[in-house]
A and B are shown apart, each in its own frame.
Chain A
Amino acid sequence: MRAGCSVPGRSRFCFPTERFEVDFGIDEATRELLAGAREIGRKEVRPAGLEADRNGAPLPPDHGYFTRFIARGEGRTRWLGPRGRRRDPGPRRTTVQSLLLAEEGAYWDRGIGVANPGVGLPEGNVLGLGTEAQKEQFLGSFLELDRPRWACFAMTEPGAGSDAAAISTQARKDGDGWILNGAKCFIGNASRADWILVQATLDPTKGRAAQRAFFVERSTPGLGGFKIEKKMGLKAYESTSFLLDDCRVPASHLLGGEKRHEGKAGFKTAMRTFNAGRPVIAANAVGIGRAALDEALAFARAHERTGDARVRDRIEAMARKLRMARLMCLRAGWLADREQANLVEASMSKALAAQVGQEATTLGMELIGTVGARGDHLIEKLYRDVKAMDIVEGTGQVQRMIISRNLVQLPR
């Protein structure tokens, strides 16, 4: 029997507890990051989100919120700049830190988090798969923002949501360029983006292997028909549909260049985004749920309801579930930081947190009663906002399919 040390005559485990490495704590540096996010959240993010919700429209690109955002130095690309002129990367954020920040941001307003200037969703793809020239061309203006700038990633189509393999926007080789045709929908920040990374297929009958991503600049002829959708919640950012009508892009705009694309790399480009994204959405849902719970508790206290065991029970259950959902998120992020597979854990965090966030806002609505029916209470807004967390980046049902494929080899 192996053991750390032995008492004479016996073999026992005898390990000092301080050598155990499990740690559920958050270190000082991260707590400072969170305190900063909380401060900005209270002063900037929450008011901006409420303004957009009241107006029923995204804040305009020249809104003071965005100018102050870039003035604080936020929204810059993670790219370090062209060779020979790399900037100091500074301390790199871990996935766990990013998730905690994603939670804190969504606590104050989740919609604003998406509306924030910056490269946003496609950044990881471009950093991971883009050529040096593409990084310079498309990320260069995000090194230091001279004005609020956006980019965006366009995958979803009217006929293809979570089933990302089913997209039908077509890319056709044309001389030394590509011609794109198709329709995209629910794309965040598309009409204000400098460029859109468009996911398209060379042959819709060939599934994932035939997919490619293309940079489409805003002024490209054939890109148009922008329509900003009216949404139930998350009104602070635009979800936009648009058309690609014989839209021609040069060969240099194929993400990663031609050589990249052998096998299934094209689809993996998209899936990489999804993989990193799921725990973030889960963390967002926890943040929204936590905001609802805090509001519900404040309401219960103000109306002397905390003496009611039924009210206490419901608050207890939500606090517990939110704590659990957060731990599931952090577990997925922790695995990512260690570069360990986190497919199941990422999907679990997303499936669970979205559900819990929904329940927390529901509890809030039920607690505030007819106040919630007025349409001007923060909880009512959170109730509308959080629903999307169970839809974007794969619905709860899609997450369960992914988990089942791993747990019981559920056939596709």
Chain B
Amino acid sequence: MFDLDPGEELALLVETTRSFAEEALTPALREAEHARGVSPSVRAAFEQIGLAGLEMPEAAGGAGLGSLARVLVNEELAAADAGAALALDPIGAALYPLAELGGDEAVDRWLGSLLGSDAVQQRAVLVDLRDARFVCQGDQLDGEVPWVPADRVDLLVLLGEDEAFVVRQGIELETIRGAGLRAAGASALTLRGAPIEARFESAAGVMRARARSRLHAASLLIGVLRAACDFSRAYALEREAFGRPIAHHQALAFLITDMQMALDGARLLVQEAAWRIDAGFPAEAEAAAAFAETIEASRLIGPSGVQILGGHGFMQDYPVEKFMREARTLSQGYGGFDAAREDAGRLLCTGPESILLSHGEV
């Protein structure tokens, strides 16, 4: 029955992740952005906690946790630095097409070797073909992706409408500036005659993979939005104008309230969708809706966080401009806002007569 208590174990995981994020990521937020990566010691700590293979099956050296653990961990990491969260995770969302279309065997075969403490961190990257242009000729792929949040790609997983591909060779990267998430790197990716090393087909699998990918991005967004809310609220309580803290002018008090409400609501949608995935319920529409709602929240919270700091917010001395840019950047993938709404809307309109909004049943 409805219960939001994560229980001791999950609470401990969240608490541990939060301490790590606050101690290792927050202080180095600009440093990581400039360096386009995180330091080896931070990465070692991340792996030590077991966060690198959070959702990887235990047989493949992972922690074998589910979507709910993922969204909670992502929120904690991204509340410190969403770019670093991506940089630290060798696998990220690339797991989902392999897990949903290929199963444990495919996961182990293609991703197993990426886990571990090599001197240089390897990266698997997921590209949704909705965000790119590709031509498939026989066993080869040609095409371009305008942006991937990485400076190196050891394994590329491509998610189509009813199939997924694995590519490891013929990947050309051009380093670009990146609008946000620079701690993870930023590249334009080109494939020229890249051999398809594996191909999985399943329209249902693609939908589930996309649902999990959207929740991955949405939960990072939740973290960024939380950081923006917390930082700007604290500032508004310190900064005085017209004889009182600016938070005590009702126009700002209500704005801060609306930001917090938007965050709380989106977070509940994200967690519910993750719970549905773990419980084995259909979650495609719910995950798409959760992503859309989080993006909508970010349209309010990102710019408002900057607004509350006024001129200071526009300067890079404060992190709110970074939160605004990164919230936007995280909203761009998997077809973005419109594709999420289209997927959710189509499923609703072809669904049952009454929009019961699901009481948790199948």
Q: Taking beta carbons and an 8 Å cutoff, which residues of A are in contact with B?
A: 1-4, 7, 10-15, 17, 19-27, 30-31, 34, 94, 96, 100, 290, 293-294, 297-298, 300-301, 306, 309, 312-313, 315-317, 319-328, 330-331, 334, 345, 348, 351-352, 400-401, 403-404, 407-411
Contact = CB atoms under 8 A, between A and B. Distances in A.
B355 A293 contact: yes
B247 A408 contact: yes
Nearest to B346: A312
Interface string B210-253: 00000000000000000000000100110000000101101001
A313 B341 contact: yes
A10 B50 contact: yes
Contact of A11 (B50, B254, B348): B50
Counting contact residues on chain B (CB < 8 A from A), the size range is 35 or more
B64 A14 contact: yes
Interface string B312-341: 000000000000000000000000000001
7 contacts: A13-B65, A27-B1, A34-B359, A313-B341, A316-B345, A323-B289, A400-B258
B138 interface: no
Given A4-B9, A13-B9, A317-B292, 9 more contacts: A20-B69, A22-B3, A22-B5, A22-B10, A300-B349, A312-B342, A328-B261, A351-B261, A407-B253
Nearest to B246: A408
Contacts of B256: 404, 407-408
Given A34-B359, A408-B253, A410-B247, A23 B68 contact: no
A325 B272 CA distance: 13
A298 B12 CA distance: 46
B70 to A, nearest CB: 11
Contacts of A400: 253-254, 257-258
B63 A14 contact: yes
A323 B269 contact: yes
A26 B1 CA distance: 5
- Central interface residue in A20, A22, A23, A24, by most chain B CB within 10 Å: A24
Nearest to B17: A13
Interface string B1-19: 1111111011011001000
Interface stretch (B158-166, B172-180, B275-283): B275-283
Contacts of A408: 233, 236-237, 245, 247-248, 253, 256
Contacts of A21: 3, 5-7, 10
B361 interface: yes
A402 B341 CA distance: 33
Interface in B48-75: 48-50, 54, 58, 61, 63-66, 68-69
Nearest to A11: B48
B261 A323 contact: no
B1 A96 contact: yes
Given A294-B354, A312-B348, A316-B289, A17 B65 contact: yes
A309 B342 contact: yes
Please list the 10 inter-chain residue pairs (A to B) with the smallest Cβ-Cβ separation, ordered nearest first.
A12-B50, A25-B360, A316-B345, A312-B345, A21-B7, A408-B247, A404-B253, A327-B268, A306-B349, A324-B265
Nearest to B3: A23
Contact of B341 (A316, A407, A411): A316
Nearest to A30: B1
A252 to B, nearest CB: 42
Contact of B257 (A25, A96, A306, A404): A404
Contacts of A316: 289, 292, 341, 344-345, 348
Nearest to B47: A10
Contact of A320 (B7, B258, B269): B269
Nearest to B286: A323
B222 to A, nearest CB: 13
B324 to A, nearest CB: 20
B194 interface: no
A327 B58 CA distance: 33
A356 B276 CA distance: 24
B269 A17 contact: no
Given A2-B16, A15-B65, A294-B355, A327 B269 contact: yes
Most buried by A among B236, B247, B257, B350: B257
A96 B63 CA distance: 33
B260 interface: yes
B353 interface: yes
Contact of A411 (B248, B292, B350): B248
Given A319-B357, A403-B260, A408-B247, A25 B344 contact: no
Contacts of A293: 355
B105 interface: no
Nearest to B63: A13
Nearest to A27: B1
B347 to A, nearest CB: 9
B100 interface: no
A94 B69 CA distance: 28
A409 to B, nearest CB: 7
A312 B345 CA distance: 5
A306 B245 CA distance: 49
A348 B261 contact: yes
